[in-house]
Amino acid sequence: MDSRPQETPTFNSNVNPQQESPQLAAAGLTCSRSRRSTYALWVRDIAVSAVASILFILFLYQPVRVEGTSMMPRLENHDRLFINKFVYHFEAIDHDDVVVFHYPLDPSKSYIKRVIGLPGDRIEIIHGQVWLNGRKLREIYVPARYRDSDSMAAMIVPKDCYFVMGDHRSISSDSRAFGPVERSLIYGKAEFVYWPAKDMGVVR
């Protein structure tokens, strides 16, 4: 095989445009059209991708604003976050999930709390310490300054219900006050804080 470089044809840069051959003119038009076509396809692909991304986010996620401080320190008043509206169609609600639900005493309002007990769990609170199924619950998401010393008699979480609590225990109105939340009232899982920047990140 000949490995020598092929000679590259040279063109006189002083050619008068009026004297260009029809073949060269046609080649120029074809190249210009090709560039325009490539640009149009590129713009189309970006537009389609942007629309698809927006629809995906709007379909799966809903932006909400936190009102109140019962989920501090992770969620602060006026934080904005995305909740996943469809995740619980495909997976079960689990301990420690931060869920959004219609307030049992007034379904026109929405609350956001952490899941502490699942259906069938035994919950007891002794001087602020939560006991889950006979074991002391380790709650790293509740700083010492947000704990309280309240107690609650032992109870079994009913079928299709969930025991929820706020992380700021001393000010939270939760299942200790209004009881376990029915599954039908839970409509989303808190996923990601997007504003303000200082609070941005995954909700855990």
Kindly report the pTM of this predicted structure. Answer: 0.74
Is-catalytic flag, 113?
Answer: yes
Catalytic residue among 37, 49, 53, 70: 70
Say what percent of the chain tops pLDDT 90. 69
CA 18 to each of CA 24, 41, 51, 153, 204: distance values in angstroms, whole numbers, following the listed order: 12, 33, 47, 98, 72
Q: In what order do the strands lie in the sheet with 129-132?
A: 135-136, 129-132, 122-126, 152-156
Q: What is the pLDDT of residues 102-143, one digit of tens each?
A: 999 999 999 999 999 999 999 999 999 999 999 999 999 999
97: DSSP letter: -
Q: Which two tokens stand for residue 60?
A: 């799966």
Task: Say which residue the tokens 């009232």 belong to.
Answer: 185
- Range in 10-14, 27-31, 136-140 the model is least confident about: 10-14
Residue of 13, 110, 113, 136 marked catalytic: 113
- Asked if 70 is an active-site residue, the reply is yes
3-state helix, strand, coil in the chain (%, to 5): 30, 30, 45
Q: How confident is the model at residue 15 (pLDDT cuts 50, 70, 90)?
A: very low
Judge whether 187 and 85 are in contact, CB under 8 Å.
yes
